[in-house]
Amino acid sequence: MKINMSECGVCEICVESCPLGLIKKKGFKMVILEGCDNCGECQKICPMGCIIK
Ligand code: SF4
Ligand code: SF4
């Protein structure tokens, strides 16, 4: 998965949704670390719809 940072509001709601703990806040942006298996949990929960494959 990727985060479209032009839409992301850095609300951090997605952080807890990742069962692998791969979503982190880094400065003023969100990053997805190595190892994402595209389970889709973060995509379902993002209110901005900015997490994409
Ligand atoms: S839930 Fe969506 S809008 Fe909120 S920080 Fe995560 S990617 Fe950004
Ligand atoms: S798709 Fe699943 S594993 Fe990948 S970042 Fe989102 S919640 Fe985590």
pLDDT, tens digit (0-9, with 9 covering 90-100), for 1-53: 999 999 999 999 999 999 999 999 999 999 999 999 999 999 999 999 999 99
Give the residue, by CA position, lying nearest to ligand 2 atom 4.
36
The count of structural domains within the chain is 1
Long-range contacts of 18-21 (CB under 8 A, 24+ apart): 18/42
The pLDDT score that the predictor gives to residue 40 is 98
The pLDDT score that the predictor gives to residue 24 is 98
50 CB neighbour count, 10 Å cutoff: 17
The whole-model pTM stands at: 0.95
Give the residue, by CA position, lying nearest to ligand 2 atom 8.
18
Distance 35 CA to ligand 1 centre (A): 19
- We report the CATH number of the domain holding residue 31 as 3.30.70.20
pLDDT digits over 33-44, tens only?
999 999 999 999
Q: Show the domain range for 22.
A: 2-52
Round to whole Å and give the CA distance between 25 and 45.
16
The pLDDT score that the predictor gives to residue 18 is 98
